[in-house]
Amino acid sequence: MDSLPLYRQLAAHYVDAIHAGSLKAGDKLPSLRSLMRLHDISLSTALQLCRAMESEGWVEARDRSGYFVRRPQRLVIAAMEEPASGLPPDPAQFVNMRTRMANFMARGRLNEVKLNFAISRAAPELYPAEALRNAMTRALRQRPELLTTASSQKGHEQFRQVVAQRNLRVGMTVAPDDVLVTNGCIEALNLALRAIAKPGDTVAVESPTFYGLLQVLESLGLRGLEIPTSPQTGISLEALDLAIHTYDDIKAVVVVPHLQNPIGSVMPDAHKQRLVQLCESHGIALVEDDTYSDLVETEVPPRAIKSWDRTGNVVYCASLHKVLAPGLRLGWITAGRWHAQVEMLKYAQTRNNEALAQIAAGEIIASGGYDRHLRRLRERLHTQRDQTADAIARYFPSGTRLNLPRGGFQLWVELPERLSSVAVFEAALREHMLVAPGAQFSNAARFDHYLRINCGWPFSEAVDAGLRRLGQIVEEGCAAQKSLPASASAATRSPRVAVQSSRARAA
């Protein structure tokens, strides 16, 4: 026990207290300040203690209130294991996502979809429609020439100021002129990669990662190199390091440090810092896609990777699409040493963004309305995530695994028996449900037995019934697979064994 770091020893102490019942579900852990005093430890040790307990699912952070003991762990659902980062990475390969995605999307469009678990945002009612509408109507009334004059090339000045100011909260010091407004984060990523790399170059990405990024790589003629990524801590720095030494043509690394899509990981600050150094020392550009950080449920907002950047090697991309208003295409980029190049590319690609959305969003952020919205949104999503995870635990066969992310609206679910998610996708579609099969998130076959399940919609009877039916579909799929004569499925249905069997097969 003594060989464990101090924060681990203390965490074990509090876990014992939970087991013993002296800390019950809903109880508050001592505050950081109290922990420091109680155990005579530093702030960083107290934070490590809380985060370790949080990532293991014992406690949960609530905005500005501290850490609270969670409800009892789900009975049958096991956490996913860490990826095998010691393995050599996949060879650089040209991704071929577009056709695959086009097929999935066309299949979805051709069928009547009643329950869409494949979607990647929250329900409309979770966003501040009225505040947005009012801000826009006001802007239209107060600025009679808004629609009949061209808007500013870099973006509306007030909005860029608000963004620059907000960046301070995540440790970034940038001037409003360093912020270039784009059509969503996806245009920011396009511009970043066009400025950094040329067709044929290799870009390292997390594996799995969101298909939008894989499509961008393909459309720009870039090769994607998938780096194993932990559901807890994000991209494996060991695997990335190995990849850098194996392939000498990696031009950029793209990561989603906070609530990675689809896996939900949040990179620890120490990892972010090491990643900055690793990229910097090898002359590899680091692109940070920070779409989700405002959804992370922590007491303090997570620090941006860009905050450790001293040389302009980190390109920061973000957007309000998922967090403030899915009806807006409002993103931005702070492109470090590629700034001038990115600005020119943006001008040649789509010119300036329209001003109206920028004015409205800028006002809502500056007024504090955005932060109030975020607190409500995070609470709602927290509840929905728990309800969805509970339903999956209840309805899906044992051997199913998931990690409960620290925010956001999606769950990354590993199916038992390495059941193909494409089969589940097809079966679900026949019953008017859409799920996002794992094959959408990687060019490798590795994630074929995963599903991404949306939990951004209020947990209704229909959602509950849908998840129950999905669980049956998975169960039926597993049974059918087992009945095949050649099936190698000797795994029992105990989650513990499923973990080992999955590891054995993955290796």
The whole-angstrom separation of Cα 104 and Cα 64 is 41
Min separation Cβ 368 and a second copy, Å? 19
Q: Compute the least distance from the CB of residue 454 to a second copy, in Å.
A: 13
Which residue, among 170, 177, 132, 168, has the nearest Cα to 292 in the 3D structure? Answer: 170
Q: At what angle do helices 97-110 and 421-430 cross, to 10 degrees?
A: 20
Strand ordering across the sheet containing 410-414: 401-402, 410-414, 450-454, 436-437
SS3 376: helix
How many angstroms separate the CA atoms of 16 and 249, rounded?
50
Report the nearest approach of a second copy to the CB of residue 263 (Å).
22
Measured CA distances, 284 to 37, 190, 270, 273, 333 (Å): 43, 17, 19, 15, 18
Q: Which of 436, 320, 455 is nearest to 380 (CA)?
A: 455
Q: How far is the CB of 123 from a second copy (least distance, A)?
A: 9
Tokens describing residue 418 = 């390495």
Which is closer to a second copy, CB of 23 or CB of 330?
A: 330
Q: What is the DSSP string of 471-501?
A: HHHHHHHHHHHHHSTT------S-HHHHHHH
| Residue with Cβ nearer a second copy (95 or 243) | 95
- Of 326 and 336, the one with the shorter C-beta distance to a second copy is 326
Distance spanning both ends of the chain, measured CA to CA? 31
CB of 464 to a second copy, least distance (A): 23
- Nearest CB to a second copy, comparing residues 102 and 488: 102
- Beta strands at 285-289 and 250-255: parallel, antiparallel or unpaired: parallel
Least distance from a second copy to the Cβ atom of residue 285, Å:
18
Beta carbon of residue 221, minimum distance to a second copy (angstroms, whole number): 8
Least CB distance to a second copy at residue 199 (A): 6
> Which residue, 5 or 221, is less far from a second copy as judged by CB?
221
DSSP 8-state secondary structure symbol assigned to residue 448? T
Kindly report each contact of residues 365-374 with a partner whose C-beta sits within 8 Å and lies 24 or more positions away, as own/partner.
Answer: 365/162, 365/163, 365/166, 366/158, 366/162, 369/128, 369/131, 370/324, 373/127, 373/128, 373/131, 373/324, 374/294, 374/295, 374/323
CA angle 465, 467, 471 (to 5 degrees): 115
Between 4 and 340, CB nearer to a second copy? 340
Tokens 């959305």 belong to which residue? 357
Residues 6 or more apart whose Cβ sits within 8 Å of residue 175:
164
Query: Which residues lie below 8 Å from residue 447, measured CB to CB, with a gap of 6+?
Result: 207, 208, 438, 439, 441
Nearest to 440 by CA among 421, 456, 427: 421
Q: Which is nearer to a second copy, 140 or 278 (CB)?
A: 140
Closer to a second copy by CB, 118 or 243: give it. Answer: 118
Q: Report yes or no: 334 and 318 within 8 Å, Cβ to Cβ.
A: no
Dihedral sign for Cα atoms in the order 440, 441, 447, 453: negative
Distance of closest approach, residue 15 Cβ to a second copy, in angstroms = 41
Helix (H) or strand (E) holding 235: strand 234-235
Least distance CB 425 / a second copy (angstroms): 20
| Least separation in angstroms between CB 200 and a second copy | 10
Beta strands in 15-58 (DSSP E): none
Residue 13's SS3 state is helix
Q: Which is nearer to a second copy, 55 or 353 (CB)?
A: 353
Choose between 78 and 323: whose C-beta lies nearer to a second copy.
323
Nearer to a second copy (CB atom), residue 24 or residue 347: 347
- Tell the smallest beta-carbon distance from residue 330 to a second copy (Å): 9
Q: Which is nearer to a second copy, 141 or 430 (CB)?
A: 141
**Positions that interact with a second copy (CB under 8 A):** 98, 102, 121, 124-125, 127-129, 132-133, 136-137, 140-141, 144-151, 183-184, 186-187, 190, 194, 198-199, 212, 215-216, 218-219, 221, 325-329, 340, 344-345, 347-357
For the CB of residue 227, give the shortest distance to a second copy in the complex, in Å: 21
Q: Which CB, 72 or 199, lies closer to a second copy?
A: 199
